[in-house]
Amino acid sequence: MSIENISNNKAFGGWNKQYTHRSNTLNCDMRFAIFLPPQINTGTKVPALYWLSGLTCTDENFMQKSGAQRIAAELGIAIIAPDTSPRGDDVANDASYDLGQGAGFYVNASQAPWNRHFHMYDYIVNELPELIEQHFPISDQRAISGHSMGGHGALTIAMKNPKRYSSMSAFSPICNPINCPWGQKAFSAYLGADKDAWKEYDSCELMQSATKFIPALVDQGNDDQFLSEQLKPHLLAAAATDKSYPLQLNYHDGYDHSYYFIASFIEQHLRFHTKHFAANNH
């Protein structure tokens, strides 16, 4: 699998780079961003955090707005930020912002016309890590995190693949998509009318049925405009309590849904993942 480098920016002794590649999983060309910390210069493979962004975002939002590179450089963590959906003139789309391109919801679509390209779940779990580990000095130690739609993706992907990730975290995740407007719209389109298929991509449902636990950290702003209608973290907290799941859920007064919130607490998330990378090394 070949990749093409399209940008390079030095940051905190490491490199922020962008690449394009042909995705066989998504049947289109894709772009991702990667931060390579300075520790790669020693010849050591570094662990990786996969960051999944939210609705309307690309690979660039997190890399340009979160300020994560400074702490990642200190801790020796690579960060990989994929795009949020397939892209291209021949890729199905919708006029609204919450369906189609920029709104892949990290599922494998089963319904036409989406099922030709929209297999973001398989892309994130299998194709992209294989590509990354082939081309960069990055180990198979992985953590996963994300924001909003990407927080939903990070939590569901980790819980469905507990052996692949040492920890998971999210900012303002869509916790119960089967019971919120964003999730119901996307799942109806991508997965069809069978609501049992929806449950396979719902954090609350997956947490309730989990048999293997992954350390989880979630941060949520109390002034988030989507809190009550779309995000519903109280339902995730209830599921964690019922299951005794190792979830740390923090609420923060005054913070909203923006990248100002993410930038304020991203350091705690990177240190959380580093702690669990170290624990998995023993």
- The pLDDT, as a whole number, for residue 281 is 66
Cβ-proximal residues to 228 (8 Å cutoff; 6+ apart), any chain = none
Asked, as a colleague might, if the bond just before 113 is cis with ω within 30 of 0, I would say: yes
Name the active-site residue from 148, 166, 172, 203: 148
Confidence of residue 256 (pLDDT cuts 50, 70, 90): very high
Tell me, yes or no, if 269 is annotated catalytic. no
Each residue's pLDDT tens digit, 168-193? 999 999 999 999 999 999 999 999 99
Cα–Cα dist 226/209, whole Å: 26
- The pLDDT, as a whole number, for residue 279 is 79
Each residue's pLDDT tens digit, 192-203? 999 999 999 999
Name the active-site residue from 23, 53, 224, 273: 224
Can you give the pTM of this predicted structure? 0.97
Mean pLDDT of 69-77: 98
Tell me, yes or no, if 257 is annotated catalytic. yes
- The pLDDT, as a whole number, for residue 141 is 96
Measured between alpha carbons, how far is residue 159 from residues 17, 79, 154, 174, 210 in Å?
Answer: 29, 20, 9, 15, 7
- Here the tokens at position 162 are 């507990």
Name the active-site residue from 257, 269, 273, 276: 257
Tell me, yes or no, if 135 is annotated catalytic. no
Q: What is the amino acid identity at position 88?
A: G
